[in-house]
Amino acid sequence: MTTGHRDLHHELEEQIHELDAFAYSISHDLRAPLRSLDGFSQILLEEHAAGLDDEGRRYLERIRANVERMTEMMDALLELSSAARSQLHRERTDLSALARDVAAELTATDPGRSVRFAIADGLSAPGDPHLIRMVLQNLLGNAFKFTGRRADALIEFDTERQDGVDVYTVRDNGAGFEPGHADRMFDPFQRLHLASEFEGTGVGLAIVRRVVTRHGGQITAAGAPDEGAVVRFTLAPGPAGWELR
């Protein structure tokens, strides 16, 4: 890397660090007024509802719903900042065990659903276990969510080799997405489905990309409407000029 490239890389890292610090500060500082707004609106509903007509109560309910939505977004921003700012601790990590733990947690949230998890044995990689768990929580969580309307829901986690590089794959047979939207789905707050269809903040995949890139890896996604989705990622740099496909 030339001196000019090193300087540009350092400058970009500094700018990203400043943006992350700004996002953390804003997210943290907005929590107090949001709690206050939520608390006072709750008091109005509980203690002064008799003085409100139906329209007034509906307005208050909408205020509280939007406060909840904003709080979720603030929490997501804090998690995104944590994924970018926390110190990276690399160690040999059992991805299969982490994935099974996450799958058990997801199943417990909706025990009435029938979802088959197919998690390959022996998946491991050098990396930060806490951050990699965030990757699997978001990827498997998305797969769990977007297969919610499938009676035969299937979520797979395995690996393949591309040019000697370990590529980890999360695949599902859920709602999928338009192929042309794949490039923007890793940007914060980008949603490919209506909130009325599937809940969420649109930050989970941005967190995944932050963690993957911090490990020197790459990430891609592919899918089609009603045909499921597949996300591939690496947790280490590939050969010079190598691109994940």
Whether the predicted pLDDT of 9 surpasses 50:
no
How many other CB atoms are there within 10 angstroms of residue 159's CB atom? 17
Question: Considering only CA atoms, which of 184, 170, 183 is closest in space to residue 229?
Answer: 170
pLDDT at residue 10 tops 80: no
Rounded distance between C-alpha atoms, residue 67 and residue 45, angstroms: 15
Answer yes or no: is pLDDT of 13 > 60.
no
DSSP 8-state code for residue 240: T
Domains of the chain by start residue, with CATH: 3-85 (1.10.287.130), 91-233 (3.30.565.10)
- Contact yes or no for 141/204 (Cβ under 8 A): yes
Write out pLDDT tens, residues 98-139.
999 999 999 999 989 999 999 999 999 999 999 999 999 999
Q: How far apart are CA 43 and CA 36, in angstroms?
A: 11
Higher pLDDT, 244 or 188: 244
* Mean pLDDT, residues 56-69: 83
pLDDT at 71 (0 to 100) = 76
Q: Name the residue with higher pLDDT: 8 or 134.
A: 134
Q: What is the mean pLDDT of residues 153-162?
A: 96
User: Is 201 a residue whose pLDDT tops 90?
Assistant: no
